[in-house]
Chain A
Amino acid sequence: MNGPGTNGAAERAPEGWRDLSRFIPWLLGFCVLLVLPWLAVNPYQNYLLNVILINVILAVGLNIVKGFAGQVTVGHIALAAIGAYTSAILSVKFGLPFWLALPAATLVTGLAGALVGIPAFRLEGAYLALATLGLAESVRIFISATDYVGASIGFSDIPPPMLAGKPLGSHIAYYYVVMPVALVGIYLSFCILRSDIGRAFKALREDSLAAAAAGINVRKYKLLAFVISAFYAGCAGSLTAHMSPGFLNPNSYTITEMVTLLLMVVLGGIGHIWGGVIGAVLVTIINDLTVDFYQYRLAIFGMIIVLTVLYMPRGIGGVIDRHFATKRFIALRKAKASVNA
């Protein structure tokens, strides 16, 4: 589990301490994030933090299926819609509390993810993209035409989570619901991607035939990538549904939102472990900063995509990786030179 260059003291340290030390950065990160909303100047920034964190969950999930397993999907936004509406239905129509609706919606979306994954057995590349696009549009159209979920007018009055009888309706209170979920989501993505499953995903991405020849069950891992990614989408969807003012509308799950989501992953770095996080944070901030230039916003986003693909095909994560790889290479060369000398 250790990265290159970290094999000295840590490997000599006792097993228990190594296990514990692995969590220290996460705990420190958690502590920093814990105080973050108190640094915000106004509640709008807390609202923005919640949106960023929900986008982080969505993008990290998409990065698993797209970046690591190499499956070209444009149906991820539909999975978020399924999670959001499932959670809303469970809360509003069946009176389930948020704390049960969230895991239930995540599970239901996981099942939907399995359905999305089935076409991936036979399809690849542009064909798979088309199939998942069809599914995404079907979900949106189904919601638009279903009165039970508010059709195209929208699903209102979705309650916020309750804790000890008090609603967590304010943006700052809701942050403490979203933030731990996002952090756990990122941590789990690390665990998955550094495990055998993650290595199987990467093998699939590089060459599915070679992966099959090496004994990897291609169908199983393709399906697993879609299901895991759907868990993330469902969880993000549920968190969106219960965020104040508790309103859902199918217009929030169109192809435009899917492209924005893809931009997060592409800009952050496809296949880079932190790509989804970096991309989600940056794109949400850019989105917010350009809100006053509404005439040019779409052009700005289009330009970012084109420039990223042209000059940073591996995204910001790729640039960071290359920087550290170069540094390590130079250090190694220097070390070898000094040994030779």
Chain B
Amino acid sequence: MKSASFRASYVLASALLLAAGVPSAPAAAADDVIRIGVTLRMIVENGLKYGQMTKDELEAVNATGGINGKKIEVTLLDDECKPDRGIANVNRFIHQHKVHLVLGSTCSSVSIPMVDVVTKEEVPQIIPHSTNTSITQKGSPWVFRTSVSERFYSAVHAKYLAENVGKKVAYLYTTDGAAISFAKDYMGYMERTYKVEPIYTAQMQETDLDFRSHLLKIKSLNPDVLAIGGQLDAIARITQQSYEVGIPSKVRRVAASAASNAPVPELAGNAAVGLTFAAAFSCKDERPVAQQFVKMVQDKYKVRCPDHDFSQAYETAQIVKLALSRAKLSLTDAALAQDRRAIRDALATIKDYSGLASGPINFCADPTPQCRDGNRTGILVEYTKGGKDYDMRVLARVSFEADFGLAK
């Protein structure tokens, strides 16, 4: 045993030494370059494309001499919507790549622990996709969000549907974070504003395939609205099965923002017609800036109808470039902390930024949701055609006060 354990102790020690040494290659960060770490969920429909687009947009300035003469270097990583991977990525960005700014992530469950890391290490973070309300409620002075917070989203459809369709709502949602947030915020708004209780609620697993037993019960209750929370495959499946069990088309189907992803109308087919969701962008937005963006994505990334994951990633990249142009940066290793602070302060000066987002984006210095939830306008979109050639229209555009949905 002695010789075996002797050998083995050193196998462990040398392997750990290897672990400490091998992945350390990029430790020497170059001066005079603005380094940005981007972490997103990319192994999903179009994920690689919007990740690449974010990198391309940020590095596009290098072709014209950079920002104030400084080049941008982007490290792009996938976090697979897994918090431990997101934490590893952000640690890698901060300590190994010595980034000036972190951009990410997509899933709220990844962005939440990332906020804790960047706050501790004092690195600015800008979030393009995550919607969970609690992200900016953590009160970090280093965190900004360009995506629409769930506290606004939930009210977009709740308000519109209560006033235009009806208040008898049945909720069917899965166990993922966005679905729970969607359903609970919707219920909460209806209860607070109209004193209306849900006529039916049921929670299913993300992996469930058959929702018909719940849908039959819902049919018998004759609701005005069927609220569907889930990821895209669950939304498509529930929408389709709701017609199979005979819930009439006059019952408005409303879904969480994942319904904006292309596979939903493609999978649901004709059942997608009338399906409504809140989003930050629609490819049917007729503003020239939006149509120019849609054409760029179609030509360069071969996506027919870019959803709000694309638009928000693009918007975030533009805001980052604007902030970088305003920040006074030394870009030396010694001035890293000072540069990070300068970028944070420059981000806080973004006011009335008007681009692809449904409304202006505003940040300010206070580390509060009022200051850091930049986009306070959501749109309500309805599919007018399902299948591969799906189509949609914008039903409403709703803006909110900065402190909407926050406890007084």
Given contacts A2-B1, A152-B175, A252-B84, contact A26 B120 (CB under 8 A): no
Given contacts A156-B113, A285-B19, contact A44 B96 (CB under 8 A): yes
Which residues of chain A are within 8 angstroms of B96 by Cβ–Cβ distance?
A: 42, 44-45
Residue B247 lies at the interface, judged by CB distance under 8 Å to chain A = no
- A153 with B108: CB separation less than 8 A: yes
Partner of B19, one of A29, A32, A244, A284: A284
Residue B368 lies at the interface, judged by CB distance under 8 Å to chain A = no
Which residues of chain B are within 8 angstroms of A33 by Cβ–Cβ distance?
A: 12-13, 16
Give per-residue flags for A143-182: 1 if the beta carbon is below 8 A from chain B beta carbons, else 0: 0110000011110110000000000010100000000000
Partner of A29, one of B13, B77, B108, B120: B13
Partner of A152, one of B10, B23, B24, B176: B176
Give per-residue flags for B19-50: 1 if the beta carbon is below 8 A from chain A beta carbons, else 0: 11111100100000000000000110000100
Given contacts A26-B9, A29-B10, A36-B16, contact A245 B116 (CB under 8 A): yes
Residue A230 lies at the interface, judged by CB distance under 8 Å to chain B = no
- A49 with B24: CB separation less than 8 A: no
Closest chain A CB from B150 CB (angstroms): 11
Partner of B1, one of A1, A29, A151, A285: A1
Which residues of chain A are within 8 angstroms of B136 by Cβ–Cβ distance?
A: none
Given contacts A153-B112, A273-B4, A274-B11, contact A39 B175 (CB under 8 A): no
Surface stretch bound by B, among A92-100, A212-220, A275-283: A275-283
Complex: how many Å from CA A48 to CA B117?
15
Surface stretch bound by B, among A61-69, A290-298, A306-314: A290-298
- B16 with A281: CB separation less than 8 A: yes
Residue in A closest to B115 when the chains form the complex, CB atoms: A245
- A277 with B11: CB separation less than 8 A: yes
Total A-B pairs, Cβ < 8 A? 183
Q: Which of B85-127 contact A (CB under 8 A)?
A: 87-89, 91-92, 94-96, 108-109, 112-113, 116-117, 120
- A36 with B22: CB separation less than 8 A: no
Residue in B closest to A43 when the chains form the complex, CB atoms: B95
Residue A14 lies at the interface, judged by CB distance under 8 Å to chain B = no
Closest chain A CB from B74 CB (angstroms): 12
Q: Is the interface of A mostly helix, strand, loop or mixed?
A: helix
Residue in A closest to B203 when the chains form the complex, CB atoms: A145
Closest chain A CB from B103 CB (angstroms): 16
Complex: how many Å from CA A128 to CA B8?
32
Residue B82 lies at the interface, judged by CB distance under 8 Å to chain A = yes
Q: Which of B136-175 contact A (CB under 8 A)?
A: 175
- B91 with A10: CB separation less than 8 A: no
Which residues of chain B are within 8 angstroms of A244 by Cβ–Cβ distance?
A: 116-117, 120
Complex: how many Å from CA A192 to CA B108?
43
- A152 with B177: CB separation less than 8 A: yes
Residue A249 lies at the interface, judged by CB distance under 8 Å to chain B = yes
Partner of A156, one of B8, B9, B20, B116: B116
- A3 with B1: CB separation less than 8 A: yes
Q: Which of B46-77 contact A (CB under 8 A)?
A: 48, 77
Which residues of chain A are within 8 angstroms of B134 by Cβ–Cβ distance?
A: 153
- A141 with B18: CB separation less than 8 A: no
**Central interface residue in A45, A141, A246, by most chain B CB within 10 Å:** A45
List 21 A-B residue pairs with CB atoms under 8 Å apart, sorted by A's residue number: A3-B4, A6-B2, A6-B3, A25-B6, A25-B9, A26-B5, A33-B13, A36-B20, A41-B21, A41-B24, A45-B23, A45-B96, A49-B16, A49-B19, A153-B108, A169-B120, A190-B1, A273-B8, A274-B12, A285-B22, A294-B78
In the complex, the 3 A-B pairs of residues with the closest C-beta atoms, listed nearest first: A29-B9, A245-B116, A294-B78
